[in-house]
Structure 1
Amino acid sequence: MNNNGNTALGVLAGATIGAVLGILFAPNKGSVTRQRIVDSAEAQKEKLASTATDLRDKVAETISAEKDSLENRVESIVSDASYKAEDVITTLEAKLKDLKAKNKKLQKS
């Protein structure tokens, strides 16, 4: 998990602990306090689920963007290599033509 995920988790944990402690030290009946703890836990659970969903979506977007970028870079590299191979082939064909011409001069008629 990255720093943003750790920070969000820390904030949620701190908020949950603070809410529970605030409820426990509040001067209310036990049943009211227990209900407030349950309500607070459910709210924190929903916040955590929302944060996890947001984090998952961001990771998916990042992976998708990096995949597209990588595909473009690979395509560019393959294209460049193809052009270079074509240049090498052209140069070798010219050299071969020169060698054939030199060889023909060396052959007796």
Structure 2
Amino acid sequence: MKTDKLVLGVLGGLAAGALMGILFAPEKGKKTRKRILSKGNDYADDLKDKYETLLGTITKKYEGIWLEGQDLLSDGKEKLEKTKKEIQKLEI
């Protein structure tokens, strides 16, 4: 969670700094608006890529944990059945 907030904070700071730089640059309004739109699109694309990467990482970790849990459950069931059979042998 800390990494998410850090990435969003850095991207937000970069976006704010770029916007301030563009707004205070001595250019015509039309050109400035185009630059703002272009930078905004660039930041949106970058943020989308980072989000997709983060989502992919989380998904892979979740799947790994899920599979590991299934393996542990399967092993536990096998050990339980083995123990039951051993107990039944002792009772006979």
1:62 aligns with 2:58: no
Which residue identity is paired with 2:68?
S
Give the CA deviation at 1:59. Answer: 1.2
Residues 11-50 of structure 1: matches in 2 within 5 Å? 11-50=10-49
Which entry has the higher C-alpha Rg, 1 or 2?
A: 1
How far off its partner does 1:28 sit? Answer: 1.2
Give the Å deviation of 1:37.
0.6
How many residues align? The count is 92
Divergent runs of 4+, >6 A: none
Taking the aligned partners of 1:65 and 1:3, their CA distance within structure 2 comes to: 22
Task: Provide the TM-score with structure 1 as the length reference.
Answer: 0.80
Gaps of 5+ in 2: none
Separation of aligned partners in 2, 1:13 and 1:78: 50
Q: CA deviation at 1:56?
A: 1.1
- Find the counterpart in structure 2 of residue 72 from structure 1: 71
Q: Which runs of 5+ in 1 are unaligned?
A: 94-109
